[in-house]
Amino acid sequence: MEKTLTTLLKNHRESGGNIISLLQETQDVFGYIPKEAVEFFSDQLGLAPSRFYGVATFYSQFRLKPRGKHVVTVCCGTACHVQGSERLLNSVKLELKLNDEADMTEDGMFTLEKVNCVGACGIAPVTIIDKKVHGKAVSEKIIREIRAIKGPRDAKK
């Protein structure tokens, strides 16, 4: 990891980038911003870790935890809530065998995200699977989609 971080930092210095661009590049490489990266950059740049975490937690695009290979995003904003998104969310949790604290499956295949309004209230409830938007989503269809991603062997589990 240190070699990669050194390269990222070198590019960052050469391009005269800022903390945001450094964190973006880090996330592009690792899929999230590892704690080790923050510690390394903090050390090398002489900046407090809180400067990095401040930026990373301010912008919703940044993730401080690894993500699964596939991402299921269930909108639970008001319009979606009214249309039963909580029930949908619970069905997905059950299908992915996620307990209340976990948002990623043990095998790292799926991450489940709960968000507030994705801006498509007219087709509520909305679920997004790997950037594909499913409007007027019903549990059965979303579960079918997830099982299709899992593949025929896992689909029966």
Residue nearest to ligand FES (CB): 77
**Residue 143 beta carbon to ligand FES: minimum distance, rounded to whole angstroms:** 19
Closer residue to ligand FES (CB): 71 or 118: 118
**Residue 138 beta carbon to ligand FES: minimum distance, rounded to whole angstroms:** 15
**Residue 92 beta carbon to ligand FES: minimum distance, rounded to whole angstroms:** 15
Torsion angle (degrees, nearest 10) of CA 146, 131, 55, 53: 20
Closer residue to ligand FES (CB): 86 or 154: 86
**Residue 67 beta carbon to ligand FES: minimum distance, rounded to whole angstroms:** 21
CA distance 118 to 2: 36
Distant-in-sequence, close-in-space partners of 50: CB < 8 Å, separation ≥ 6 = none
Closer residue to ligand FES (CB): 24 or 91: 91
Distant-in-sequence, close-in-space partners of 52: CB < 8 Å, separation ≥ 6 = 19, 23, 33, 38, 41, 42
Q: Which residues bind ligand FES (CB under 6 A)?
A: 75, 77-80, 117-121, 124, 126
Alpha helix locations (H) across the chain?
Answer: 2-15, 19-30, 35-45, 49-58, 78-82, 85-96, 139-150, 152-155
Closer residue to ligand FES (CB): 37 or 74: 74
Joined tokens for residue 106: 């043990």
Cα distance between the two ends of the chain: 36
Closer residue to ligand FES (CB): 27 or 145: 145
**Residue 136 beta carbon to ligand FES: minimum distance, rounded to whole angstroms:** 11
